[in-house]
Amino acid sequence: MLPPLVRKTWRDDRRAVIGWTVGVGLFTAVYTGFYSQFQGAAELKQNALPQGMLDFLGIADMLSPAGYLQATVFSLIGPLLVLMCAATLAARTIARPEEDGGMELLLANPLSRTAFAIQRLVAAAAGITLVAVTPWILLSILVPVIGMDVPMGNVAAACVGLALLAWCFTGIAFLAGAVTGKRGTVLAVIGVLGVATYMANALSNLSDGANWLKWLSPFYYFIGTDPLHTGWHPGPLLLLAAIGIATTVAGVILFDRRDVGV
Amino acid sequence: MLYGMTSDIAVLAEGLTKFYGTRRGIEDLTLEVRTGEVMGFLGPNGAGKTTTIRLLLDFLRPTRGLARILGMDPRKDKAILHRQVGYLPGELAFPGRETAKELLRFFGDARGGVPWTAVTSLAERLDLDLSRPVRAMSKGNKQKVGLVQAFMHQPALLILDEPTSGLDPLMQQEFLAMVRDARDHGQTVFMSSHVLAEVQSTADRVAIVRSGQLAAVEKVESLGRRAVRRVEIHFGDPVQAVEFTGLPGVTQVQVTGPVLRCTVDGRLDPLIKAAARHEVIDLLSAEPDLEETFLSYYYTGEGTSDAAAAGA
């Protein structure tokens, strides 16, 4: 039997998780479904865009099935949606109840501070993971049905990368909320970090001088290794997970030490 | 669990001090609540009542000093301790969008299972409809949900922050009866209030805080005779202050034209007899709030600027 607080957190997050899952699912299905119609247009688009722009957007080629998936589902909007979902759900674990006053009754549960924080985060992370693996579930069906020529192992590698990218930012968002108790701070931290690290990875494609920037970016560890063409890269994926876990641990420890609801 | 208590001190605070940066919450508060008693925790708004309560519950960490609840450490033993504590927050907000029933089920499960009849009988007693979403409830009904969750697991210690706020007078009476029942069952009650009368009718002792410090701990009987009230009489014609200044128990006489304002300690009879010599148009009598009279009794030397400085 799951702890009551985990179930309560799921009940409170239910609408949001369903909404994000449907949104990310629709996005994935629509883009992937357009693959066959898009072939001609992709060629035009690829020819119309300068190479620099393509590099910046992380689009290697839009003609191959792998390139198409990377350009549509995995390059910008997919990660962006998953990140927004991670930020809002992680902000609900501590920061939001602390701001709207519901925290006192939650914290009055017979749980240590540490157990409270962990249960809240585990519940939220489960919801975020569900949203983040929605593309994987859909692509597992759509790729064979549409007949896209991408190895399923490569699709899995990219999709797991997306989920781990979500974990990475969930951990950071949780840490920000656990320390400050302010939802605005959580969203600002994720917004700024998300954009900055996305830019870092994008700019690193443009010139050799800026190439080192990619090492600063979780987006590089997620998609810069080109998993749709090259498959699994355990190192970068583990690093994403490690960032998520390290920030989570830091958040739990710091939350245990501070005053709540002042 | 409830009767297994060995210690006869339910709440102990020793030199408990909390500063928010440089702003003072409470300073050097030492207090004992005995097992099985109802203690009122009185003081004006901003005196540090809520800060004290939040320290006892481990939401805040003390700058100095220590607290023991049911013989346990609020931080280290939180997981065990909070099964035996019922808490009603002063500023009540409920997490989520659930109905009262779902929310109370959660609180019951989280505390290791509460017989549902305990919930329904409390809800019946307070005339609360459990099928409605808590978010959509009036302030009074939310307060009832808060009370149900505090009492439902028959905790050894009830910590209630301003428990009657938002309740209508009938429900206030019901609540006070619940507190008396809790005491009869051997439970300890520590409840804050800024209304003397409400604490007077149920508490065994009261602790009075002012400006973050403990001003006094008194048995309620010794407060009982201080029926101080503020009286305002409107006459048909202008009156002279001297007619009223000498009357027994009458102080702070102020006359502006036909209006007399004064404070009466004890029997009203002398003032009424004196007033009856004139045509009386209106008579207003109110129990003054704690800040004005009760605390000034303990702090005759101090000004009121202190209370304002204590902040919200």
Tell me whether strands B23-34 and B188-193 are parallel, antiparallel or unpaired.
Answer: unpaired
**Amino acid B302: pLDDT:** 42
CA-to-CA separations, A189 to A87, A88, A246, B129, B168, in angstroms, rounded: 9, 12, 17, 42, 45
pLDDT category at A59 given cuts 50, 70, 90 is: low
Give the chain B residue nearest A1 (alpha carbons).
B109
Is it the case that residue A40 has pLDDT exceeding 90?
no
Between A102, A112, A260, which is nearest B95 by CB?
A102
d(CA A79, CA A251): 23
Domain ranges of chain A: 4-257
pLDDT category at B147 given cuts 50, 70, 90 is: very high
Least confident of A154-168, A219-233, B138-152: A219-233
Tell me which DSSP letter residue B123 carries. Answer: H
**Amino acid B286: pLDDT:** 78
Is it the case that residue A153 has pLDDT exceeding 90?
yes
**Amino acid B195: pLDDT:** 75
Q: What is the ipTM of this complex?
A: 0.86
**Amino acid A242: pLDDT:** 97
**Amino acid B4: pLDDT:** 43
Tokens 């010794």, residue located = B222
| CB-CB contact of A244 with A173 (8 Å) | no
Q: Residues B29-52: pLDDT tens digits? A: 999 999 999 999 988 888 899 999
**Amino acid B306: pLDDT:** 40
Between A105, A115, A262, which is nearest B94 by CB?
A105
CA-to-CA separations, B66 to A193, B11, B51, B232, in angstroms, rounded: 41, 11, 14, 47
Cβ distance B82 to A108 less than 8 Å, yes or no, reads yes
**Amino acid B166: pLDDT:** 87
Residues of A in Cβ contact (< 8 Å) with B94? 102, 105
| CB-CB contact of A112 with A2 (8 Å) | no
Least confident of A86-90, A151-155, B248-252, B265-269: B265-269
**Amino acid B17: pLDDT:** 96
Cβ distance B59 to A102 less than 8 Å, yes or no, reads no
| CB-CB contact of A174 with A121 (8 Å) | yes
Looking at every residue in chain B, the average pLDDT score rounds to 87
**Amino acid B2: pLDDT:** 45
Q: Is A54 helix (H, G, I), strand (E, B) or coil?
A: helix
Residues 6+ apart with CB under 8 A from A21: A130, A131, A134
Is it the case that residue B225 has pLDDT exceeding 60?
no
Q: Is B188 helix (H, G, I), strand (E, B) or coil?
A: strand
Least confident of A153-167, A180-194, A228-242, B227-241: B227-241
d(CA A48, CA A31): 20
- Give the percent of chain B with pLDDT over 90: 66
Torsion from C-alpha of A221, A224, A225, A228, nearest 10 degrees? 120
Task: Determine how many CB atoms are found less than 10 A away from the CB of residue B223.
Answer: 21
**Amino acid A43: pLDDT:** 65
Nearest to A69 by CA among A32, A26, A44: A32
**Amino acid B123: pLDDT:** 96
Task: Determine how many CB atoms are found less than 10 A away from the CB of residue A116.
Answer: 25
Q: Residue A131 is which amino acid?
A: V
CATH class as words, domain B9-222: alpha beta
Q: Which CATH topology does B228-295 take?
A: Alpha-Beta Plaits (3.30.70)
**Amino acid A42: pLDDT:** 61
d(CA B111, CA B153): 8
More confident call, A45 vs B271: B271
| CB-CB contact of B168 with B18 (8 Å) | no
Q: What angle do CA A86, B60, B146 make, to 5 degrees?
A: 80
Tokens 């983040």, residue located = A132
Q: Residues A169-222: pLDDT tens digits? A: 999 999 999 999 999 999 999 999 999 999 999 888 888 888 898 899 999 999
Residues of A in Cβ contact (< 8 Å) with B82? 108-111
Nearest to B144 by CA among B120, B167, B115: B167
| Token pair for B55 | 């320290």
Domain ranges of chain B: 9-222, 228-295
Least confident of A1-5, A249-253, B125-129, B300-304: B300-304
Looking at every residue in chain A, the average pLDDT score rounds to 91
CA-to-CA separations, A150 to A64, A155, B231, in angstroms, rounded: 9, 7, 89
Cβ distance A105 to B81 less than 8 Å, yes or no, reads no
How distant is the Cα of B95 from the closest Cα of chain A, in angstroms? 5
Cβ distance B60 to A260 less than 8 Å, yes or no, reads yes
Residues of A in Cβ contact (< 8 Å) with B22? none
Nearest to A193 by CA among A132, A243, A236: A243
Q: Is B193 helix (H, G, I), strand (E, B) or coil?
A: strand
| Token pair for A106 | 């939650």
**Amino acid B226: pLDDT:** 58
